[in-house]
Chain A
Amino acid sequence: MLNRDERRFRKRYEATYGAVLAYALRRTDQPADAHDVVAETFLTAWRRRAVLPEGERTLPWLYGVAYRVIANQARSRRRSERLSAQLAAQPRPSPQVEADVLRAAELEAIRSALERLDPMEQEVLRLAAWEGLSRAEISDVLGCSENAATLRLHRARKRLAEELAKENELTGHESA
């Protein structure tokens, strides 16, 4: 019989599992690594279920944990491997990449531009674009003020735009 605490955890787990998995898949090379990140994140959440925030704040809190779990892994990765693996057409659950190289080339240009930003800028942009978080939620994930998150996002967008322009110039990707 589950107690109240466990029932509440289970409900939040079911509601957020997919989003946390997506978050991890976006930031790891291999699906297996992403699943490890998810496991570690929810294990932390389970242990700290008494303080797990409610409602809309649950997901940013979990992203914050996942962010740190991935950071822990990331320090021991070779960047070149990561870059390559991100584009691996076979193992990733992203059939579109393989289906259309024109699109793959464009995606590669975007990711390549993203990779040239500093890690914090990358994370802010990913959280905004891929997780669709608000500034307040981003600040929750990154442990900074909302103002700081807004400023970081503004700067990161600007930097990404610059890098995309450079990428365009370098590789001559055609307009999509």
Chain B
Amino acid sequence: MSEARDPLELLRLADPVASTDLPDGRSQEARALLREISGAGGNTRRRLALALSLGLAVTAVAGATSFGQTVVRGSIERFGAWVGGDPGSPASPAEQKAFEELNVEAYARFRENTRLRLLMTRTVAGKRFRLLGFRDGSSLCLRLIRADRPGGRSITACVPTRELDAPAVVAASGTLSFGRPEIRVSGVIGFADDEVERVDVVRQRSGKSRAALANNAFLSLRARPAGTVQRHPPPDEVVEIRALSGGVSRWVEFVTAYGIYPRRLRGAPVFVRDFERPKPAALPGPVQSVPATPASVRWIESMEPRGRRLNLERFRYARALQPDPNSSFRVGVVLNGLDRGLPTKEVPLCVTSLEPLTRTRSLGFRCGRAADLFRRHGAFVLTSSGWFSSSGGGLQFERVAGLASDGVASMELYFHEGRRESVPLKDNTFALLVSRADLPAKLVARDRRGHAIKIEVLPGPGRVLRCPERSLAALRAPRRRPGPIGQLDLGRRTLGGHQILGRTLPQIIAVLGRPVAVSAAHNRQYVRYGPPWQRRLSISFRPRRHGRLVAVALSFDDVNLTERRLGLLLRRKPAALQRAIQKIYGKEYELVEPFGSLRYWGGCGATFDAVGTNRSLTFGMYEPRWRPYLSLRRD
């Protein structure tokens, strides 16, 4: 890759569909879709299901240790239904067959004789869901499926038995969808020991609900309409899980879900901002390493037939290796250069994770010239590329896996709370399933003499940063009587007694006078009112009916902005303003995003939806100077 090349030009090379013949608008499939779309009509909200399942929301953290919570440890023997190996009842033949079909197609497979057990069945929104369980070596696995689609999307997750050392352990959270209009079911699955009497799942908006509990497993389901692109329902993510055991309610480790929200979608009270990536010295274990030798894997260079062959014709050499005999997970090792006649050392060596049941897992994730790979990366290469845990997921356990050079004799993980775990290493491949709540951690490779030859920090999950609880506007800002552009009525949604949203510029000029500045870009327009260098009021215009530009957003930066019933708005503290809006205008405005934590896109804010309309109200502060704002907009 040449550094001198234009990055856009390089990016064009990486276009995933550049060389693909795609069907055009007259193709059979395009015509079929057109028929379906035009048959959907205007009244049906969502005839076409958005197949968004196993939607494992990206997460921010509410990790136990980071919040100083105490987790009481138990032992595997307390999961009585699983100790005997036969929890629940056998899964149906259709479920077993669907599982086996998926398994046989995958690059990495669960054991052939894996028998699924039905742990519980629950119905939500008229749809039946079944929680299945099975063993995979030293792990217990759960699989949540729709009863009517046993081979369809699922939430499948495994937990190593060594991690079942708490009364309740969450395996995964995720969503499954069905119906038109689409209903999205958020599910949390996990294990609970014999002592657990109850598991409560707390969601942002709907609050606490009791999870179903049977056969040492728990299942929490909540169905909601998926909404539309334009009208999203407010988020209702799982934020906390508690287990009642021995009469005591205990906090259950759970990495909560939050994604990086595009600005225009409805936000959420918490957003991932910073990922915890401590320096090696801040974690237990060695802090310095010595260079590793040899920096190669000899058996790969000589293409020994280790592991299982991957059926990939175009590769010179492709093998799936099992680092841990107690897990069905495999590490894929691939050498290419089939037609080039190059020596093995000169061709790219790629290392990848192969998860069971996943047919389409990557090949060639971490690549480099075989001769250089370890010289450049050090004694081992992770199958992920530094993104490890930097964003979250519904799965609560993350795979630390990769390829180690011949110089590595052992590997260990040093967790931030002081625990040390040996990493299974076989045929130069290594893999360990770790709890996301236990990160950050340090992965250390040692040579035969015990010297650390590579240290890599695995970052912790994202952190939620709190917004400053301070007045929106500096109190020293001079007070003055607001003109018409500073007199708002949230109830009537008027400014200076006039409706502004939805009006054209000439109509607005007729009531507010001429703006101090007008700017236009493409099919947009912006106008500004207020003294020079201040933006007391900005109005944004967008094309609406017949291409006419109408006002779609009013943004106020005026600290003297006055509301008819609430008085001065932007001189209050955010929480106080939020409460005041809820108290005075609780019937007109519904809080969809409370003020609380920094948004991914910057700044802090709260959002209300005007009930029964397409209007919304947002207030907050922009970084870095924490300038206050309030805006009213229509979709």
**In the complex, are the beta carbons of A39 and B36 less than 8 A apart?**
yes
In the bound complex, residues from chain A placing their C-beta under 8 Å from that of B38 are: 6, 9, 46
Contact partner, B51, options A33, A85, A105, A171, Cβ 8 Å: A33
* Interface: B232 (CB within 8 A): yes
Complex interface: stretch among B54-62, B202-210, B493-501: B54-62
**In the complex, are the beta carbons of B19 and A104 less than 8 A apart?**
no
Q: Mark A33-49, 1 if CB is under 8 A from B, else 0.
A: 10110111011101100
Interface residues of B in 375-416 (CB under 8 A from A): 375-377, 384-385, 387-388, 390-395, 398
Q: Mark B1-36, 1 if CB is under 8 A from A, else 0.
A: 111001111111111111111111111011001101
* Interface: A68 (CB within 8 A): yes
B interface SS class: loop
Complex interface: stretch among B256-264, B321-329, B614-622: B256-264
**In the complex, are the beta carbons of A40 and B13 less than 8 A apart?**
no
**In the complex, are the beta carbons of A46 and B37 less than 8 A apart?**
yes
* Interface: B348 (CB within 8 A): yes
Q: In the complex, what's the smallest C-beta–C-beta distance from A168 to chain B, in angstroms?
A: 6
Q: Complex Cα distance A78/B521, Å?
A: 36
Interface residues of A in 109-148 (CB under 8 A from B): 109-112, 114-115, 119, 125-126, 128-130, 136, 139-140, 143, 145-148
Q: Complex Cα distance A168/B10, Å?
A: 13
Contact partner, A36, options B20, B42, B48, B387, Cβ 8 Å: B48
**In the complex, are the beta carbons of B52 and A106 less than 8 A apart?**
no
Among B2, B27, B388, find the residue whose CB has the most chain A CB atoms closer than 10 A: B2
Q: Complex Cα distance A106/B9, Å?
A: 13
**In the complex, are the beta carbons of B353 and A147 less than 8 A apart?**
no
Q: In the complex, what's the smallest C-beta–C-beta distance from A163 to chain B, in angstroms?
A: 9
* Interface: B113 (CB within 8 A): no
**In the complex, are the beta carbons of B314 and A43 less than 8 A apart?**
no
**In the complex, are the beta carbons of B545 and A74 less than 8 A apart?**
no
In the bound complex, residues from chain A placing their C-beta under 8 Å from that of B229 are: 40, 44, 65, 68-69, 72
In the bound complex, residues from chain A placing their C-beta under 8 Å from that of B335 are: 101
* Interface: B47 (CB within 8 A): yes
Complex interface: stretch among B134-142, B241-249, B362-370, B470-478: B362-370
| Contact A25 to B16, CB < 8 A, known contacts A51-B545, A84-B353, A105-B350 | yes
| Contact A129 to B50, CB < 8 A, known contacts A44-B229, A140-B522 | no
Q: Complex Cα distance A38/B335, Å?
A: 36
Q: Is the interface on chain A under 10, 10 to 19, 20 to 34, or 35 or more residues? A: 35 or more
Q: Complex Cα distance A142/B257, Å?
A: 26
**In the complex, are the beta carbons of B360 and A88 less than 8 A apart?**
yes
| Contact A171 to B19, CB < 8 A, known contacts A78-B391, A80-B387, A83-B384 | no
A interface SS class: helix
In the bound complex, residues from chain A placing their C-beta under 8 Å from that of B398 are: 80
**In the complex, are the beta carbons of A125 and B521 less than 8 A apart?**
no
**In the complex, are the beta carbons of A17 and B51 less than 8 A apart?**
no
Interface residues of B in 302-316 (CB under 8 A from A): 312, 314-315
In the bound complex, residues from chain B placing their C-beta under 8 Å from that of A140 are: 522-523
| Contact A108 to B16, CB < 8 A, known contacts A69-B50, A77-B56 | no
Q: In the complex, what's the smallest C-beta–C-beta distance from A76 to chain B, in angstroms?
A: 3
* Interface: B124 (CB within 8 A): no
* Interface: B221 (CB within 8 A): no
**In the complex, are the beta carbons of A76 and B175 less than 8 A apart?**
yes
Closest to A83 in B: B387
Closest to B11 in A: A129
**In the complex, are the beta carbons of B369 and A174 less than 8 A apart?**
yes
Interface residues of A in 57-101 (CB under 8 A from B): 65, 67-69, 71-81, 83-101
* Interface: A26 (CB within 8 A): yes
In the bound complex, residues from chain A placing their C-beta under 8 Å from that of B572 are: none
In the bound complex, residues from chain A placing their C-beta under 8 Å from that of B350 are: 101, 104-105
Q: Complex Cα distance A157/B8, Å?
A: 7
**In the complex, are the beta carbons of A14 and B353 less than 8 A apart?**
no
In the bound complex, residues from chain A placing their C-beta under 8 Å from that of B18 are: 130
**In the complex, are the beta carbons of B33 and A39 less than 8 A apart?**
yes
Closest to B342 in A: A102
Q: Complex Cα distance A36/B6, Å?
A: 33
Closest to A76 in B: B55
* Interface: B361 (CB within 8 A): yes
**In the complex, are the beta carbons of A99 and B314 less than 8 A apart?**
yes
Interface residues of B in 530-548 (CB under 8 A from A): 544-545
* Interface: A170 (CB within 8 A): yes
Contact partner, A26, options B17, B264, B377, Cβ 8 Å: B17
**In the complex, are the beta carbons of A68 and B34 less than 8 A apart?**
no
* Interface: B524 (CB within 8 A): yes
In the bound complex, residues from chain B placing their C-beta under 8 Å from that of A29 are: 360
* Interface: B518 (CB within 8 A): no
In the bound complex, residues from chain A placing their C-beta under 8 Å from that of B1 are: 106, 109-110, 164, 167-168, 173-176
| Contact A22 to B523, CB < 8 A, known contacts A172-B376, A175-B1 | no
* Interface: B347 (CB within 8 A): yes
**In the complex, are the beta carbons of A129 and B8 less than 8 A apart?**
yes
**In the complex, are the beta carbons of B34 and A171 less than 8 A apart?**
no
* Interface: B265 (CB within 8 A): yes
Q: In the complex, what's the smallest C-beta–C-beta distance from A120 to chain B, in angstroms?
A: 8
Closest to A46 in B: B37
**In the complex, are the beta carbons of B48 and A93 less than 8 A apart?**
no
**In the complex, are the beta carbons of A85 and B50 less than 8 A apart?**
no
Contact partner, A14, options B29, B30, B56, B232, Cβ 8 Å: B30
**In the complex, are the beta carbons of B336 and A94 less than 8 A apart?**
no
| Contact A94 to B58, CB < 8 A, known contacts A68-B265, A172-B372 | no
In the bound complex, residues from chain A placing their C-beta under 8 Å from that of B426 are: none
Contact partner, A79, options B42, B49, B58, B261, Cβ 8 Å: B58
Closest to A174 in B: B369
Q: In the complex, what's the smallest C-beta–C-beta distance from A138 to chain B, in angstroms?
A: 10
**In the complex, are the beta carbons of B363 and A105 less than 8 A apart?**
no
Q: Complex Cα distance A88/B24, Å?
A: 24
Q: In the complex, what's the smallest C-beta–C-beta distance from A84 to chain B, in angstroms?
A: 4
**In the complex, are the beta carbons of B3 and A165 less than 8 A apart?**
yes
Q: Complex Cα distance A112/B3, Å?
A: 15
| Contact A105 to B361, CB < 8 A, known contacts A21-B23, A98-B314, A172-B376 | no
Q: Complex Cα distance A77/B252, Å?
A: 23
In the bound complex, residues from chain B placing their C-beta under 8 Å from that of A90 are: 359-360, 363
Would you list 5 pairs from A and B whose C-beta atoms are within 8 A, ordered by A residue?
A40-B229, A84-B361, A91-B359, A145-B526, A171-B377
7 shortest interchain CB distances as A-B pairs: A76-B55, A101-B336, A14-B25, A78-B393, A75-B259, A145-B521, A17-B25
- Spell out A's residues near B (CB within 8 Å): 6, 9-10, 13-18, 21-22, 25-26, 29-30, 32-33, 35-36, 38-40, 42-44, 46-47, 51, 65, 67-69, 71-81, 83-102, 104-112, 114-115, 119, 125-126, 128-130, 136, 139-140, 143, 145-148, 157, 160-161, 164-165, 167-168, 170-176
Sample of 9 more A-B contacts, CB < 8 Å, known A42-B34, A145-B521: A10-B34, A17-B23, A18-B23, A87-B365, A101-B348, A104-B348, A139-B522, A164-B1, A165-B3
